[in-house]
Amino acid sequence: MINLEMTQKMIEIKNGMNGVAQSMLRPISRHYDDNEHQYPKELDVFRSMKIMSRPKKKKKDGEEQNPDKPGAKKPGSNLAMTITIEEMCWGDLGLLLSLPNAGLGNAAIIAVATDEQMEQFGNKWASMAITEPGAGSDSGSITTTAKLDGNEWVLNGEKIFVTCAERCDIAVIWATVDKSAGKAGIKSFIVEKGRPGFKLDKLEHKLGIRSNDTGTYVLDDCRIPKENILGSPEVKQSTEGFKGVMKTFDNTRPLVASMSLGVTRAALDFTREKIEESGIKLDYEKNPNNVSSLEKEFYLMEANLEAMRLLTWRSAWMMDNGEFNNLEASMAKAKSGRQGTLICQKCCDLLGPLGLSCDHLAEKWMRDVKITDIFEGTGQIQHLIVARNILEFSSKQLK
């Protein structure tokens, strides 16, 4: 069973990352929001750190047991990562997304790259390019093509809303090698910056996470080595290859949920501070029927924050213990993305003028948190995944 108490190691991670967020990220948060697309040079200290790595293979005699609880499954790197991300995003979400060598593309490479590809690309900053002008939430509808020509793949198409589009070293491009095969024909390719035919067309001006660069790629007869395909180039009748790449999201959706946790907690902490400064004492021993509407709103927001955290921790714990977490990852992402957005908006409501003033970060948190309900699968897509899992329907049966 999952143990909901934090271990000493988890507490140390939380405190350490909160210190980084408070001393490094919070002080520069407003500056890089105002100066969109400017690279935060303060983050260069993370370049030498191995933020994402491939987990070691398990020993043949089974999993290493938790020494504190004989026979119990243990918290591991994924749960530690969710705690780390929550604390960092308490500092600033856009800056967290700008950490070198920690892009979504890196997660895909770790998940499906060969040992040779890990050796060549494992230490490079990788973006993930999936979305197209005509293919958003339905990743299976992409039209970017990849054709084999001798010892090279030739890629053509356009990718939009790519996170870290300018700052990355390489990009993981999703393309189809056989349109008639549908999802089974979709593969991912590693494209290095500077390749002829690979162009960063523009950078977006955004509502939130403005310290992070989001851009558009155009591929025009872009040639890459044959070996730069992730996974097998074989097109089978099944969609197992596509599903394998999509499983990357089962690993990263809990991390997106953690991003919402961090921003939402920041907004609640600030709101609590201002409520108490106004002379209102939040008393959890009061009868729920005898509290003001403001207190009631705050307690409800705190309860939703805790629900977000427990769902997120559950999905991360399942990953650490080798359990299939597709349902739980989507539940965590759907709950955190939606409730985080609503809570940050409500905090600005309760704060009044302080919630709109650029002298404080509340309005920025409201703008930043919205992305967690959109990228890596919108809230609506997460509800579809949850429904399919519970009802045991396929994607064709429930759209």
Contact 88, 25 (CB under 8 A): yes
Contact 231, 245 (CB under 8 A): yes
Residue partners of 62: CB distance under 8 A and separation at least 6: none
CA 259 – CA 252 distance, rounded (Å)? 11
CA 267 – CA 63 distance, rounded (Å)? 39
CA 302 – CA 297 distance, rounded (Å)? 9
3-class secondary structure, 96: helix
Catalytic-residue membership of 240: no
Residue partners of 11: CB distance under 8 A and separation at least 6: none
Residue type, 101: N
CA 52 – CA 313 distance, rounded (Å)? 19
CA 127 – CA 225 distance, rounded (Å)? 18
CA 363 – CA 2 distance, rounded (Å)? 36
Q: Please give the structure tokens belonging to residue 119.
A: 């050796």
DSSP label at residue 22: I
333 exposed, middle or buried (CB, 10 Å; 0-12, 13-18, 19+)? buried
Name the nearest CA neighbour of 208 among 99, 94, 129: 94
Contact 363, 355 (CB under 8 A): yes
Which one is catalytic: 227, 240, 376, 392?
376
Contact 22, 87 (CB under 8 A): no
CA 206 – CA 122 distance, rounded (Å)? 30
Contact 222, 155 (CB under 8 A): yes
How, if at all, do strands 170-176 and 126-129 pair? Answer: parallel
CA 178 – CA 153 distance, rounded (Å)? 13
Catalytic residues, by residue number, are 376
